Amino acid sequence: MSGQDRLLAGIELGGTKAIALMARGRNVLASARVPTTTPNETLRAIGDRIEAWQREHGRADALGIASFGPLGLDRSRPDYGHITSTPKPGWRQADLVRHFGDRFGLPIGFDTDVAGAALAEHRWGTARGCDVAIYMTVGTGVGGGVVVDGRPVHGLVHPELGHLRVRRATGDDFAGVCPFHGDCLEGLVSGPAIGARTGSDGASIEDDHPVWDRVTAELAEAMAMLLLTVSPRRIVIGGGVLQQRAPLFGPLRKRTAALLGGYIAGLDEDALAAMIVPPELGAMAGPLGAIALAQDACQDRSAAATATSPNTCI
């Protein structure tokens, strides 16, 4: 059975809401939104939805979990499968993989929500065919996932692009809102940071407000840094801030080109128009990322397991 035919379950776990879904490939059969409250309440409600869908559609072949982080992704460490040092009350050390593994007994693909979104855009969206691609979200928080040759990048930890330190404009003394670093990228350009800078909700700020000039300048610093270090062929930017302000993409590309200073041959503002882009999958990048993780978990289990294993996906 091909990856597009398998029945898969997915969970995109966010800081304020979770989306559970059942799908075959990118064809979503059922989905539901669940508020993110306490771990016990939230995970139980998600599990109940999946259990009900399995009664209707059949047993899933695998489950993908794309979660807010930071996450433990090193299988050799005792914190594998956990949310680790999150500031979200009650969620530190929540063991997601064990919870759903015990309940469903399925192969589980586990990664960050942004890594999942990067994988979905690589598989079905605007990063198709790119050997190196980045997905960045700019919303309540800022995060990024990196996909190389079709696989999310992990090392010591998963990439933490939202906590990069960028150059600040002269005279800008805004302290930032990140509880760990103050004025890292997330602390400067996330929705709460924009609200703290202006005293207004981001959606109500006028397009010509000077805060957008600072936001694009600081995002451009990150874009130039990523182009010079990771060498992606596509940087996909989602999340509420730029989804509501699509005209910011133009100034962002222009500033990025200026920061690169012609160093990378052929990478001018026109070329960046095809490289720094919104997600083709829109708001579905995250949920479909969970499905992509489930596909990979099923494929990995198939490659490693014997034909008699009860969890083999064939």
Give the homologous superfamily in CATH for domain 7-113+283-304: ATPase, nucleotide binding domain (3.30.420.40)
Largest interatomic CA distance in the chain: 66
Give the residue extent of every domain in the chain: 7-113+283-304, 126-278
User: Closest by alpha carbon to 162, among 140, 195, 147, 130?
Assistant: 140
Q: How confident is the model at residue 244, as a pLDDT?
A: 81
Burial class of residue 282 in the structure, from the number of CB atoms within 10 Å of its CB (0-12 exposed, 13-18 middle, 19+ buried): exposed
CA distances from 312 to 21, 116, 265, 300 (A): 21, 22, 48, 9
DSSP 91: -
Residue in the structure block whose two tokens are 């936001």? 215
Alpha carbon 200 to its chain centroid, in Å, reads 26
| Mean predicted lDDT score pLDDT of the chain | 92
The pLDDT assigned to 304 comes to 60
Q: Per the structure block, which two tokens stand in for 275?
A: 């490289």
Among 2-16, 45-59, 103-117, 245-259, where is mean pLDDT lowest? 2-16
* pLDDT of res. 303: 61
Please state, in angstroms and rounded to a whole number, the distance separating the CA atoms of residues 125 and 110. Answer: 20
Q: In angstroms, rounded to a whole number, what is the distance separating the alpha carbons of residues 187 and 293?
A: 29
pLDDT at 3: 55
Q: What is the pTM of this model?
A: 0.91
pLDDT per residue as tens digits for the range 30-80:
999 999 999 999 999 999 999 999 999 999 999 999 999 899 999 999 999
pLDDT of residue 302 exceeding 90, the answer is no
The pLDDT of 164-169, averaged and rounded, is 93
> Do 7-113+283-304 and 126-278 fold alike per CATH?
yes
C-alpha 25/C-alpha 36 separation (Å) is 26
**Closest to 251 in 3D by CA, of 288, 211, 281:** 211
Best CA proximity match to 259, nearest among 210, 214, 215, 217: 217
Q: How far is CA 50 from the centre of its chain?
A: 22
Give the model's pLDDT for residue 167.
Answer: 93
Give me the residues paired with residue 245 across strands: none
Closest CA to 250 of 237, 261, 264: 237
The two structure tokens encoding residue 42: 């939230």
CATH 3.30.420.40 fits 126-278, yes or no: yes
Distances from the Cα of 122 to the Cα of 49, 128, 269, angstroms: 28, 5, 23
**140 vs 144: which has the higher pLDDT:** 144
45: nearest Cα among 26, 17, 22:
17
User: Parallel, antiparallel, or unpaired for β 234-238 and 142-148?
Assistant: unpaired
How confident is the model at residue 299, as a pLDDT? 84
Q: Which residues contact 159 (CB under 8 A, 6 or more apart)?
A: 115, 144, 145, 146, 153
- Of 116 and 15, the structure prediction assigns the larger pLDDT to 116
Q: What are phi and psi of 281, to 5 degrees?
A: -85, -5
Q: 278: which 2 tokens? A: 């919104």
196-205, 259-268, 286-295, range with the lowest pLDDT: 196-205
In one-letter notation, the amino acid at residue 208 is D
Query: Model confidence at 310, in pLDDT bands (50, 70, 90)?
Result: very low
pLDDT for the residue numbered 313: 47
For the stretch 182-229, pLDDT in tens is 999 999 999 999 999 999 877 788 888 999 999 999 999 999 999 999
